[in-house]
């Protein structure tokens, strides 16, 4: 009788090495350290190489996931990076900030019975490997078409559009209002989650492919879209992001020490306030910090405050832990870094001293009632539950409204009642001929990868327009 084959030991999902929480909460270095080549190969071998890969369906930019993972399993890391570039201009970024659990990894067959393949870790590994050890080569660009494209905004969707259209041989200029390209990847997402050197490197790849990057140009103010067409551009993509920060509209909100998350993160990340006075832009270093809101931006703000030397950082949120919109990984990292979640609590007013500086705030306790339009249980105030506490820094992270600066200067561009641009959900076409839009200016605040997905769709439609017609 043949000897019974012992059941094959399953390799567990790779565990990402990370900086120790007690150390990292006081520095700005990246938290996850990245997989080693051995770990990456072992993880890649867990992939079943499905014939009909569901993971690819889960990816907004349809990265060839089994293909690049197979190359990692074979030890061809540069090959894997090149495979990624075919569908994704920003793999090192996506490997870090995509919500893989809801996308590729959420669909992974291996994950049905156990832990899914760590696709995000592998994407990051291949892109990082190529950046550090690669030949510096860039994706091959098709023959020149002679068409000129204006990409307005250098955030994730704009960079995706630029990458895709460059590959197809079009001439692309990216307009950026700030002095550095990258949009939210540079001003918003902190260094410890996405090192700026990585964004710069991904942008440099686009430049090597031929992109012109025109910083310090506020389209809508310095030049209008119609003037760009007069200057000889054939098509334009608007990816200018969400824009205006929302505040709570409660008493005392203009006290010194109350920041929007946009301001707090821009001062810290883009302007490098954490390196003050080496860099000139100051940032308040609060001891008792409160962050209002519970999305990814709120977690970025809270973790930044901890790194800027806070004794205590509280995230105040009106619903419960289950409704917090941030990624689980972000919530987990924040809690590991001793950030306190004060749930079912809503701010009612702020208090300050005679110099107009914040000294404390008042909150109200909430309880969950019936589900609201979003399907989440509506928080209802508990009467008489107001209480006060001291704080010296508040970061308001409750979302943003559409910035009208560009849209006001662009005739024939239809907007919805919130001021967001109306764009075809499949193609990204707007009501204005030759103009596409995508990302937060269309959807309101969302994720990096959704903005990239919109960019991908728009780039395909723009290519059709440039080669076939509107």
Partner 1 sequence: MAKIVTREEMAQGTIILNEIEAPRISRKAKPGQFVILQADETGERIPLTMADTDPEKGTITIIYMVVGKSTARFKDLKVGDEYYALIGPLGAPTHIEKVGKVVCVGGGTGIAVLHPITRALKEAGNEVTTILGSRSYDLLIMEEKMRNASHNFHICTDDGSEGHHGFVTDVLKDVLEKDDIDMVVAIGPIPMMKFCSLITKEKNVKTLVSLNPIMVDGTGMCGCCRVTVGGDTKFACVDGPEFDAHKVDFDELAKRLASYLEDEKTSMDAYKNCKIQ
Binding site for partner 1 (CB under 8 A): 177-179, 215-218, 221-223, 241, 243-245, 247, 249, 253-254, 256, 259-260, 262-263, 266-267, 271-272, 276-282, 284, 355-356, 403-405
- Cβ closest to partner 1, residue 40 vs residue 398: 398
- Minimum CB distance to partner 1, residue 417 (Å): 19
- Minimum CB distance to partner 1, residue 263 (Å): 4
- 18, 128, 165 from 204: Cα distances, Å: 28, 14, 16
281/268 Cα distance (integer angstroms): 8
Nearest to 220 by CA among 162, 156, 150: 150
Nearest to 187 by CA among 220, 151, 153: 153
- Cβ closest to partner 1, residue 288 vs residue 461: 288
- Minimum CB distance to partner 1, residue 195 (Å): 17
- Cβ closest to partner 1, residue 204 vs residue 256: 256
416/434 Cα distance (integer angstroms): 19
- Cβ closest to partner 1, residue 247 vs residue 387: 247
Q: Which residues pair with 371 in a beta bridge?
A: 377
- Minimum CB distance to partner 1, residue 156 (Å): 16
- Cβ closest to partner 1, residue 42 vs residue 244: 244
Task: Locate 221 and state its tokens.
Answer: 């103010």
Q: Where are the beta strands (DSSP E) in 358-449?
A: 358-371, 377-381, 387-390, 393-396, 400-402, 435-437
- Cβ closest to partner 1, residue 310 vs residue 393: 393
3/188 Cα distance (integer angstroms): 60
- Cβ closest to partner 1, residue 135 vs residue 249: 249
Q: Which residues pair with 235 in a beta bridge?
A: 149
Nearest to 282 by CA among 303, 298, 258, 264: 264
**Cβ atoms of residues 4 and 37 within 8 Å:** no
- Minimum CB distance to partner 1, residue 124 (Å): 28
Task: Locate 249 and state its tokens.
Answer: 């509209």
- Minimum CB distance to partner 1, residue 355 (Å): 6
- Minimum CB distance to partner 1, residue 244 (Å): 5
**Cβ atoms of residues 72 and 17 within 8 Å:** no
């Amino acid at each position: 009788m043949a000897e019974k084959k012992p059941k094959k030991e399953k390799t567990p999902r790779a565990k990402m090495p990370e900086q120790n929480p007690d150390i990292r909460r006081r520095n700005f270095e990246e938290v996850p350290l990245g997989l080693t080549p051995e770990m990456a190969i072992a993880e890649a071998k867990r992939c079943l190489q499905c014939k009909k890969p569901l993971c690819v369906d889960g990816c907004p930019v349809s990265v060839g996931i089994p293909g690049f993972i197979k190359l990692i399993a074979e030890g061809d890391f540069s090959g894997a990076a090149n495979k990624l570039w075919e569908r994704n201009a920003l793999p090192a970024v996506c490997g870090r900030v995509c919500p893989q659990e809801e996308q590729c990894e959420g669909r992974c067959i291996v994950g049905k019975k156990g832990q899914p393949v760590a696709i995000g870790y592998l994407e990051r590994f291949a892109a990082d490997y190529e950046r550090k050890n690669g030949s510096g080569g860039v994706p091959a660009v098709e023959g020149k078409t002679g068409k000129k494209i204006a990409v307005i905004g250098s955030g994730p969707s704009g960079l995706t559009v630029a990458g895709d259209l460059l590959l197809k041989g079009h001439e692309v200029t990216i307009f950026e209002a700030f002095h550095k390209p990258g949009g939210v990847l540079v001003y918003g997402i902190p260094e410890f989650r996405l090192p700026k050197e990585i964004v710069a490197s991904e942008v440099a790849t686009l430049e090597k492919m031929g992109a012109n990057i025109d910083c310090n140009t506020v389209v809508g103010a310095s030049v209008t879209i119609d003037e760009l067409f007069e200057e000889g551009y054939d098509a334009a993509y608007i990816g200018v992001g969400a824009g205006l920060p929302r505040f709570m509209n409660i008493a005392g909100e203009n006290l010194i020490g109350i920041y929007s998350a946009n301001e707090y993160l821009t001062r810290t990340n883009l302007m490098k306030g954490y390196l003050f006075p080496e860099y000139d832009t100051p940032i308040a270093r609060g001891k008792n910090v409160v962050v209002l809101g519970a999305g990814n931006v709120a977690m970025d703000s809270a973790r930044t405050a901890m790194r800027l030397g806070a004794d205590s950082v509280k995230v105040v949120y009106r619903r419960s832990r289950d409704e917090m919109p941030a990624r689980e990984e972000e919530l987990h990292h924040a809690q590991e870094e001793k950030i306190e979640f004060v749930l079912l609590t809503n701010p009612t007013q702020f208090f300050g001293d005679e110099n107009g500086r914040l000294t404390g705030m008042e909150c109200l306790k909430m309880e969950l009632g019936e589900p609201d339009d979003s399907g989440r249980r509506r928080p209802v105030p508990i009467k008489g539950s107001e209480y006060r506490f001291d704080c010296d820094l508040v970061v308001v992270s409750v979302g943003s409204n559409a910035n009208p600066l560009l849209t006001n200067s662009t005739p024939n561009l239809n907007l919805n009642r919130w001021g967001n641009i109306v764009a075809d959900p499949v193609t990204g076409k707007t009501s204005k001929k030759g103009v596409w839009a995508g990302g937060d200016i269309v959807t309101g605040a969302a994720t990096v990868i959704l903005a990239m997905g919109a960019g991908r769709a728009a780039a395909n439609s723009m290519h059709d327009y440039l080669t076939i017609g509107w």
